[in-house]
Amino acid sequence: MLDLLRTLRRHAAVTPHRPAIADGTTTLDYAGLAARVAGAAQALRTLDGQGGPCVIGILGGNGVDWVVAQLAIWQAGHTAVPLPPFFSPAQWRHIATDAGITHIVHTPDADAASAAALGLPLHPVPMATASAAALDHATAARQVIYTSGSTGTPKGVLLEARQLGWSTTALAQAIAARADDHYISLLPLALLLETLCAVTIPLSAGARVTLVPDLAARIGGPLAPGLAATIADLAPTCLMLVPQLLSAWVADLERRGGAVPARLRYVAVGGAAVPPALAQRAWTLGIPVHEGYGLSECCSVVALNRPGERRPGTVGHPLPGLRVTIDQGEIVVAGPPVMSGYVGQAPLPSGPDQPAVWRTGDLGGFDDDGHLVIHGRRDALIVTPWGRNISPEWVEAHFLGDPRLSHCLLSDAGPTGGPEGGPEGLALLLVPATAAEAWFKAASETAVASLVSAAAASLPGYARPRRHHVAFARDMAALGLFTANGRLRRRETAAAYRPHLHPPGAIPAPAIDVPSPLLTEAP
């Protein structure tokens, strides 16, 4: 059960003037936030759901109004469906049809013209207030999260009060959330993980949240400098980052200097693999990085490193109450936070004695102390004609330890007859960090090749790229090749840059340490 609304009512009664949430324009204490949520919920209850609860899309950028809308929809017993601002209008249309959206609630900064094209009733986030006494258990709360928005037909993950409530409680305990925390939100609230980190966990604990709308709107593309100064000025105790943001923060501190906030105690990093060298650079600067792992189908978090218990190179222990096993290398999760199912598909089997089970598609294993180690996606695995299994993420991590790179992608030419997957074998796309773009533009091919050689030195010969190509983040963002949390869209990026990575008729680089076909135990 999601107890957040009842907890909000209690905070409003016991600590009414404690700061709750701010976005640079609007600031609310707990009494003000509870009153706005109660008033908005009353207004939303009057909407016509065609004989039942409404399915309400939320449209707009990060801000206090978004949070009010999210909580009010839950309190009113409706289903909330965030319409990510980084999706296209065509993808919004798919979501509206697939989820059966009946109404759209929008913030003042929303793209209302595009929303109007969906042909659904539009409502600004209600500004009414009401007594917080009306807030209670959100037993009917439902959230539909759409992921993989690159094809125009993303899937809707259905989560109910029980999954949202369980995950909130488990994560709050895992990170030791407390009332004197100050959480700053740098990621889009349309992401489920940010809804948990910026809304349900801190507000359950009675903590303070500061939203940074301008920065959240730039995630997935080139970041402006000054991230370190923003974090220093806001002085958080906790925040959630994706590797792109962590890399930008670390580079900013290394280049310009500056201090890490004295009270900063916990920085969670997830959404993609964290290069070990990047994590070590962060800790050297005093950034308390803690890697985690999860996916929307499991309510975002499956495992994470706890405060004071971090194990480098792992994503920590699974959350208590989850059963995480490895089946032929694949991570399988069973327990309370596993989704009810995809919208429009049969629900996952579950019951009191039969927890829902989800096969993640991720490869991994456990170390001797039960810490989970992620190897990469099963569907991204490269299998060479010699029988070598290569996880691209494993190879890419060796390159992402270089601060001049923000992203990279390992590509295979395909089984077209060459000794290692094709006539050119493996190739690597290099994406410079913003601060290093000038270096790459001025560098000779020999200098870039030296960078590649140095980073690949510790890799076995069969996993070393034979070719490389440099692409800049701004150009890639214009092609829509980044996800909302800053990851490269692997399939789309490989297709877009294939002519550069695997040009027809290219002369392959010399083979290095070609393995015996009998040796197939590679990572």
The CATH fold assigned to 1-160 is Rossmann fold (3.40.50)
Contact, 93 vs 120, CB < 8 A? Answer: no
Residue type, 358: W
- Collapsing DSSP to helix, strand or coil, 50 comes out as coil
Q: Write the pLDDT tens digit of every residue in 128-142.
A: 999 999 898 778 899
How far apart CA 144 and CA 442 sit, in angstroms, is 47
**Residue in 501, 419, 445 with CA at minimum distance from that of residue 468:** 501
What pLDDT, on a 0 to 100 scale, did the predictor assign at position 352? 75
- Low-confidence spans in the chain with pLDDT less than 70: 1, 49-51, 148-152, 220-225, 385-386, 414-424, 505-523
* Cα end-to-end distance, the chain, whole Å: 41
Domain with CATH 3.30.300.30 in the chain: 381-501
What pLDDT, on a 0 to 100 scale, did the predictor assign at position 296? 94
What pLDDT, on a 0 to 100 scale, did the predictor assign at position 176? 97
Tokens of 103: 């109404």
What pLDDT, on a 0 to 100 scale, did the predictor assign at position 85? 85
Domain with CATH 3.40.50.12780 in the chain: 222-377
Contact, 389 vs 520, CB < 8 A? Answer: yes
Which residue spans within 456-499 are E strands per DSSP? 467-470
CA distances from 261 to 150, 152, 280, 305, 430 (A): 37, 41, 18, 21, 32
Domain with CATH 3.40.50.980 in the chain: 1-160
Instruction: Say which CATH superfamily domain 222-377 falls into.
Output: ANL, N-terminal domain (3.40.50.12780)
CA distances from 167 to 245, 294, 333 (A): 24, 11, 14
The CATH fold assigned to 381-501 is GMP Synthetase; Chain A, domain 3 (3.30.300)
Beta-bridged to residue 185, according to DSSP, are 211
**What torsion, rounded to 10 degrees, do the Cα atoms 235, 237, 241, 244 define?**
40
**What torsion, rounded to 10 degrees, do the Cα atoms 198, 204, 210, 213 define?**
30
What pLDDT, on a 0 to 100 scale, did the predictor assign at position 519? 25
What pLDDT, on a 0 to 100 scale, did the predictor assign at position 386? 66
Contact, 173 vs 228, CB < 8 A? Answer: no
CA angle at 81 for the pair 293 and 74, rounded to the nearest 5°: 95
What pLDDT, on a 0 to 100 scale, did the predictor assign at position 97? 95
**Sign of the Cα pseudo-torsion (103, 109, 114, 116, in order):** positive
- Collapsing DSSP to helix, strand or coil, 490 comes out as helix
What pLDDT, on a 0 to 100 scale, did the predictor assign at position 522? 28
Contact, 369 vs 311, CB < 8 A? Answer: yes
Contact, 396 vs 380, CB < 8 A? Answer: no
Strand 389-390 vs strand 382-383: parallel, antiparallel, or unpaired?
antiparallel
